[in-house]
A and B are shown apart, each in its own frame.
Chain A
Amino acid sequence: MKMRLTSVAAIGLLVGVSACSKNNDDLPPPPPPQETAATTPVAATPTPTDTVTNTVVPGSMEEFMQQAGTDTVYFAYDSSSLDGEARDTLTKQASWLTKYPNVRITIEGHADERGTREYNLALGERRANAIVTFMQQNGIGASRVTTISYGKERPAVEGSSESAYAQNRRGVTTLSGAAAS
């Protein structure tokens, strides 16, 4: 009797977990760690870092960010060329992705506001595609990758300064099917 009850509970748990991970496919990636820290009052107090690094879940967005350093690469004005820094970042992203072949990625292409609407949509697509091509050269199959261009519609930062523009001309790698953090 007791035994039976336990196994029912375990099945319930299993169902719960699988439903949860399925849902995660449709969810946007979790916010970057620093955002969580900013909204948590205790973040001001230094906590032992070893406990944090030890809890990074293999195959999670958190691990991806930790190993690649960033999900974002930047472009020069009206350009879709990948510079050394971008290639370095994408190489690290690709090497993490190689370890988790079930993770799919979407490459977002973005432009700064100094282009007309339609042109920037095409430019964002061109940037996203430059990243896809580089990923393919590093072993990430085309079937795992989709692109979406936002043109100048989703700047990372507000403002009309050179610094804002530089941060907005970007390609962002988003994961789906990554492990929950």
Chain B
Amino acid sequence: MMNGLTGATGRAVKPLAALFVLVAALITGPAAAQNLSVDINQGVSRPLPIAIPDFTTQQNVETPAGTTSSLGKRVAEVITNDLKSSGLFRPIDTLAFTTNVAYPDVLSPQFASWRTVAAQALVTGFAEAQSDGSVTIGCYLYDVFSEEVLVREGFNTPVRNWRRAAHKCADAVYSRLTGEAGYFDSRIVYISETGRATNRIKRLAIMDQDGANHRFLTNGQNLVLTPRFAPNQQTVAYLSYAQNRPRIYMYDVNTGQQRLVGNFPNMSFAPRFSPDGRTLAFSQSRGGNTDVYVMDVNGGNVRRLTNAPGIDTAPSFSPDGRRIAFESDRGGSQQIYVMNADGSGQRRISFGDGRYGTPVWSPRGDLIAMTKIGGGKFRIGVMRPDGSGERLLTDSWQDEGPTWSPNGRVIMFFRSRRGGGADLHSIDLTGINERRIPTPLEGSDPAWSPLLQ
């Protein structure tokens, strides 16, 4: 299900696709655009004006997902929504377009007319059905002023995966203009919530990063909490109250199979994968004392990493797998600590006012996101792994449970409302572009997948 999308190095591409894949390899390189670029570190006050006309089609063909012409229109919509959601781009209203893009225009745009609508960048392309039932999405990015082509890539995919091809195109554009990896071709697993606070129904649910392809994974019979993606994106570790015993389970997203991990007499919870996907860090409570442990993902080789009296929980690996951040109240209040992955060298890193919880290491390794508790509020913030450079990003009543986009530029979290209810939100690392993530019901405990393969 996750497979079947091939990029520039993909198999079985048709002659035309093969041609522009070859050209793409020659033209797109690691270097960022020289003339046109987006600085993502400053907190963009003026997003880049970008035109994204409907993708065209050379031959309008019926596919299981609609005609290639309608696919082209929807591909442009997905790309528009992705780029807009980043806060770094301002897609120009399609009503402003005077140009109806035909197939030749994709390869040779009429730049003068794009300049009249004040577009600085142009994303254009096509959708083409292949005889094997797949579809190829051609993705082009131009600098409207220098008339230079910045991205020229083709994505071949089974038709049902067309949205992923659109996300790949948006990632290519984002990456070329910012110099950073993209994050649009990714998914979110989270807890869907409904009902009164005193008898809340919670279900494991999964969706694309933009909310599409939403699906419930559990039926709400058992209370479920804190889902976390494995690096392979296929497995989710989570806490379930099945049989009234809170324990860690694994859910296989493709097969729908669930299995208990480990066999502990007491509550096991707060699972988080190591970067190589072989180990789970988690917590276990014994006699009211909660410690951090690790075990193999099959439940074997359990090792206890902390033994301080008190609550040691919410472990999160550094991306190199060598360290673990966690929270502990051993010093009298909930604070963030870092230790080596074998449990040695435990030391406190949070020293500001208030309490700190839910540390989550950035995939880039440079920051730890956390929930700061103080002044009657929960706020999402970041600090360096040595505790320096603390910066709070949100300021609401109760924001909790950060998770990083695969490129470490965006943090998703959940926001509870006074009196009940919670929703998913995201915010840029610069502290701007706060957005609510739409979900069918209410939501909490989001976990962002790595970039899909």
Find the residue from A119, A149, A153, A156 having the highest chain B CB count within 10 A: A119
Residue B226 interfacial (CB < 8 Å): yes
B267 adjacent to A158 (CB under 8 Å):
no
Whole-angstrom CA separation of A7 from B311 in the bound complex: 60
- Given A117-B400, A148-B244, A156–B371 Cβ distance below 8 Å? no
Flag the segment in A13-21, A45-53, A83-91, A123-131 that touches B. A123-131
The interface bits of chain A over 104-147 (1 if a CB of B lies within 8 angstroms of the residue's CB, else 0) are: 00000000011111110111011011101100000000000001
The reply to whether the CB of B418 lies closer than 8 angstroms to some CB of chain A is yes
Q: Which of B73-108 contact A (CB under 8 A)?
A: none
Total interface residues on B, using CB and 8 Å? 42
B288 touches A129 (CB 8 A): yes
Across the interface, which residues of A come within 8 angstroms of B371, CB to CB? 116
Asked if B334 is at the interface (CB within 8 A of a chain A CB), the reply is yes
Residue of A nearest to B223 (CB): A153
A123 to B327, CA, bound (A): 13
Check if A27 is an interface residue, CB within 8 A of chain B.
no
Nearest chain A CB to B144 CB, angstrom units: 47
Question: How many A-B pairs fall under 8 Å by CB?
Answer: 99
A129 to B266, CA, bound (A): 11
A-chain residues with CB within 8 Å of residue B410 when the two chains form the complex: none
Chain A minimum-CB-distance residue to B376: A114
Query: CB-CB < 8 A to B408: which residues of A?
Result: none
Q: What's the least CB distance linking A73 to chain B, in Å?
A: 15
Q: Are B245 and A119 in contact (CB under 8 A)?
A: no
Q: Which of A118, A129, A158 contacts B270 (CB 8 A)?
A: A118
Q: Tell me, rounded to whole Å, the shortest Cβ–Cβ distance linking A27 to chain B.
A: 13
Interface assignment of B256: CB less than 8 Å from any CB of chain A: no
Give which listed residue, B244, B266, B358, B418, contacts A117 with CB less than 8 A: B358
User: Which range contains the number of A residues in contact with the other chain?
Assistant: 20 to 34
- Given known A-B contacts A123-B311, A158-B196, A158-B198, A117 and B225 have beta carbons under 8 A apart: yes
When the two chains form their complex, are residues A125 and B290 in contact, meaning their CB atoms are under 8 A apart?
A: yes
Query: Any chain A CB within 8 A of the CB of B246?
Result: yes
Contacts A128-B288, A160-B418 hold; do A118 and B313 have CB atoms under 8 A apart? yes
| A88, B361: Cα distance in complex, Å | 46
Interface presence of B378 (CB below 8 A) = yes
| A125–B245 touching, CB < 8 Å | no
Most buried by B among A125, A126, A147, A156: A125
Closest approach, in angstroms, between the C-beta of B238 and any C-beta of chain A? 12
* A interface SS class: mixed
| Residue from B244, B246, B311, B420 in contact with A126 in the complex, judged by beta carbons closer than 8 Å | B311
Instruction: With both chains docked as a complex, state the minimum distance between the C-beta of A132 and any C-beta of chain B, in angstroms.
Output: 8
Q: Which B residues lie within 8 Å of A115 (CB)?
A: 334, 357, 373
Q: Which residue of B lies closest to A157 (CB)?
A: B198
Chain A contacts for B445, CB-based, 8 A: 117
Q: How far is the CB of B199 from chain A (nearest CB, A)?
A: 8
Cβ of A69 under 8 Å from chain B: no
Contacts of B285 in A (CB 8 A): 122, 125-126, 129, 149
Contact A116 B420, beta carbon cutoff 8 Å: no
The CA-CA distance from A125 to B287 in the complex, in Å, is 8
A72 at the interface (CB under 8 A from B): no
Is B283 an interface residue, CB under 8 A from the partner? Answer: yes
CA distance in complex: A150, B196 (Å): 16
Q: Please tell me if B66 contacts chain A, counting CB pairs below 8 Å.
A: no
Residue of A nearest to B199 (CB): A154
Known contacts: A118-B226, A118-B283. The answer to whether A154 contacts B288 by CB under 8 A is: no
Residues in B neighbouring A114, C-beta threshold 8 A: 373
Q: Is A80 in contact with chain B by the CB < 8 A criterion?
A: yes
- Rounded to whole angstroms, the CA-CA distance of A153 and B196 in the bound complex is 11
Q: Is the CB of A160 within 8 A of B419?
A: yes
* Chain B, range 301-329, C-beta contacts under 8 Å to A: 311, 313-314, 327, 329
Residues of A contacting B269 in the complex (Cβ-Cβ under 8 angstroms)? 118, 121
Q: Mark B280-297, 1 if CB is under 8 A from A, else 0.
A: 000101011110000000
Query: Assuming A118-B313, A122-B290, is B244 touching A154 (CB within 8 A)?
Result: no
8 A-B contacts, Cβ less than 8 Å apart? Answer: A113-B416, A116-B358, A117-B225, A119-B311, A121-B246, A121-B270, A128-B288, A153-B223
16 further interface pairs, Cβ-Cβ under 8 Å (given A117-B226, A121-B267)? A114-B373, A115-B357, A116-B314, A116-B327, A118-B314, A122-B285, A123-B311, A125-B285, A129-B285, A130-B288, A149-B285, A154-B198, A154-B199, A158-B196, A158-B419, A160-B420
Contact residues of B with A, CB < 8 Å?
196-200, 202, 223, 225-226, 239, 244-246, 266-267, 269-270, 283, 285, 287-290, 311, 313-314, 327, 329, 334, 357-358, 371, 373, 378, 398, 400-401, 416, 418-420, 445
